A and B are shown apart, each in its own frame.
Chain A
Amino acid sequence: MFSKIRLANLVADARAHKIAFFVCLLALWQGLVQLGLWQEYIFPSPLGVARTLARGFQNGTLLIGIAVSLQRILIGFGISVVFGTVLGLLIGRIRLLQETIGALVLGLQALPSICWLPIALLWFGLSETAILFVVVMGALLSITLATEAGVRNTPPRYVHAARNLGARGWRIYLYVILPAALPAIISGLKLGWSFAWRSLMAAELLYVGLGLGQLLNMGRELNDMSQVVAVMLVIIAIGLTVDRFIFQPVESRVRERWGLG
């Protein structure tokens, strides 16, 4: 009981520290602006950024940007999850695939996924397909590799026991290998998501229209620094939200169920 109270206090303290720090940061930012050393278009004020954010949400440009980017990443990430886990399961179980495709995936993983953009543009032109290709190349490989590692680290005992109890063929994959590898797969998904998000922003920034990346670019072209900062904040917020409300809960539920502490 006592230690519970202490723990609660520690958590409350940590939160207070965090809030205090960010309030100070904002104050410092506003203070620097007040000094008037830089022009607003080089160094925007927090209030200016807040106004731009509000305007962006009111006139819909930010909402459209968010919707377009989210749609792209959801499709791209979805494709990667399906193909990445299936590929990882197969590579992890079948020696020949591991020696061939596995080696290829490992090699390609060394390439930052935005480097696929030139190929994508040559193959698909300035299109949604091109951008999806880049997003998929960002997420697919890390999901595949994490799944493969999870599968290979699954104790053979589980498979023996399942076969002994009558499991055969695809049921072993679905009911034993996949769940046994799930903790590893989930960390692969997290990694894949962050790679996909990064490559999407890079691709949008470089070439392909609409989306948050393009809004960022537009801010630069209009010399509108407050828009640049506002869009950056939105990108950060989306990243944090997905991690906090999707990956973290899933991960902690799995860890709890699996007894991984």
Chain B
Amino acid sequence: MHKLEFKGVTKTFTTRNRSIAVLDSFDLQIQRGEFVCLLGPSGCGKTTLLHLIAGLEKPTQGAVLVDGEPVQKISRERVMIFQDLALFPWLNVLGNVVFGLQMTGMSKPERRQIARRYLQLVHLAEFERTNLHELSGGMKQRVALARALAVNPDVLLMDEPFAALDAQTRDLLHAELQNIWKETGKTIVFVTHNVREAIVLGDRVVVLSARPGRIKRDVAIDLPRPRQIENYAVVDLARGILDLMREDIVTTEFEVAERVPQVGRDVL
């Protein structure tokens, strides 16, 4: 059985005067323990896909299945790391990581012990008493990761988490995320618009078309790990996928087409 499955999912947003078809008869299967990167131009429905898995949105038609069962509601089995992280600024680092465990009514010593283990995993052990606004962007990412891992979900949903980081921090987090994935065996669905990032991280890169999002190409990546963003093999693969994306951007998405040179640079 597939861990996650989209079965003919259509998602339409209806606002006051128009309706937007974000997904149209979308099919996708993801296996347990897989690290899948969803790659696509902005506005193609990547965030919506994650929301559907998380249970934050419902499909207009079709079904999203988890272990063969339709997603009913939000669950800690599938934890989302939002693009803006949504960390709680009124809590310090430890308070954030402990939050999910506290909600289950776990005893204080126990939840602290677990939280500290995950803080160690993301190399933030010395910062447990620090306020969030004193952390760098990369450290905040790590807090969000630890907070999500602490409730021990089956599936981790990550929405362009590293888009706003400087290159060095991002490389570091790529390495750490690959390690964490290897150690924990989570199923990870990782959304990005950066081709090389997708190739570095994913077992599979699912390339989406512009809205309504369809699968343009589903590429298995069997490069040896750990991979780095400047590896030749990564760059090579990226070139092919990028051409694929560019043609899509140019032909279908006018607003994005105007920014093609910029997008191209950004994506590589």
Interface residues of A (CB under 8 A from B): 155, 157-158, 160-168, 171, 175-176, 179-180, 182, 256-259
Which residues from A are CB-within-8-Å of B133? 258-259
- A163, B89: Cβ atoms under 8 Å? no
Partner of B100, one of A165, A179, A256: A165
Which residues from A are CB-within-8-Å of B134? 259
- B88, A179: Cβ atoms under 8 Å? yes
- B89, A164: Cβ atoms under 8 Å? no
**3 A-B pairs with the lowest CB-CB distances in the bound complex, closest first:** A259-B133, A165-B100, A161-B86
Partner of B151, one of A165, A182, A256: A165
B131 at the interface (CB under 8 A from A): yes
Chain A nearest CB, measured from B258 CB (Å): 30
Flag B202-244 by CB within 8 Å of A: 1 or 0 each: 0000000000000000000000000000000000000000000
Interface size on B, residues (CB 8 A): 27
- B76, A179: Cβ atoms under 8 Å? no
Partner of B56, one of A155, A158, A160, A166: A160
- A257, B90: Cβ atoms under 8 Å? yes
Partner of A171, one of B86, B88, B103: B103
Chain A nearest CB, measured from B108 CB (Å): 14
Which residues from A are CB-within-8-Å of B78? 164
B84 at the interface (CB under 8 A from A): yes
- B99, A165: Cβ atoms under 8 Å? yes
- B88, A155: Cβ atoms under 8 Å? no
Closest chain A residue to B82, Cβ basis: A157
Bound together, the chains give a CA A155 to CA B90 distance in angstroms of 14
Interface residues of B (CB under 8 A from A): 54, 56, 74-76, 78-80, 82, 84, 86, 88-91, 99-100, 102-104, 131-134, 147-148, 151
* Listed A/B pairs (11) with beta-carbon separation below 8 Å: A157-B86, A160-B80, A161-B82, A161-B86, A163-B74, A165-B100, A165-B148, A166-B103, A175-B103, A176-B88, A182-B90
Chain A nearest CB, measured from B202 CB (Å): 23
Closest chain B residue to A254, Cβ basis: B90
Closest chain B residue to A182, Cβ basis: B90
- A162, B99: Cβ atoms under 8 Å? yes
- B88, A165: Cβ atoms under 8 Å? no
Chain B nearest CB, measured from A96 CB (Å): 22
- B103, A258: Cβ atoms under 8 Å? no
Closest chain B residue to A158, Cβ basis: B86
Closest chain B residue to A178, Cβ basis: B90
Which residues from A are CB-within-8-Å of B131? 256-257, 259
